[in-house]
Amino acid sequence: DAMVIQNPRYQVTQFGKPVTLSCSQTLNHNVMYWYQQKSSQAPKLLFHYYDKDFNNEADTPDNFQSRRPNTSFCFLDIRSPGLGDAAMYLCATSSVAGGQYFGPGTRLTVT
């Protein structure tokens, strides 16, 4: 089945220690997104790629970076995680005219 895969599902990192979350897709969609979702809140868009074009939301902290080496993969790098960065991180994809399809998420804990 075509899908969006996120690894790992659970990630524990230490305060200030860089961490990378990964997302892959078999849908061949040209748009990929990263969201942050905190408990009982709606997902908040951090950035998205339209093919190789990177689009950062205005309020996304500089601490968050992303890479998309090819169509299938996208990475979220958190350079110096703080306690406030503990959240669920969701990856999603879409085609130009379609809805977004989400992965299962990575739950990040910062100790």
Partner 1 sequence: AQSVTQPDIHITVSEGASLELRCNYSYGATPYLFWYVQSPGQGLQLLLKYFSGDTLVQGIKGFEAEFKRSQSSFNLRKPSVHWSDAAEYFCAVGITGGGNKLTFGTGTQLKVEL
Q: Which residues bind partner 1 (CB under 8 A)?
A: 4, 6, 31, 33, 40-43, 45, 48, 50, 55, 88, 90, 92, 94, 96-105, 107
* Rounded least distance, CB 68 to partner 1, Å: 14
The two structure tokens encoding residue 12 = 């524990």
Phi-psi region of 28 (alpha: psi -120 to 50; beta: other; left: phi over 0): left
Nearer to partner 1, 3 or 18 (CB): 3
Q: What whole-number distance in Å separates Cα of residue 70 and Cα of residue 3?
A: 16
Q: What whole-number distance in Å separates Cα of residue 3 and Cα of residue 102?
A: 8
* Rounded least distance, CB 89 to partner 1, Å: 10
* Rounded least distance, CB 77 to partner 1, Å: 20
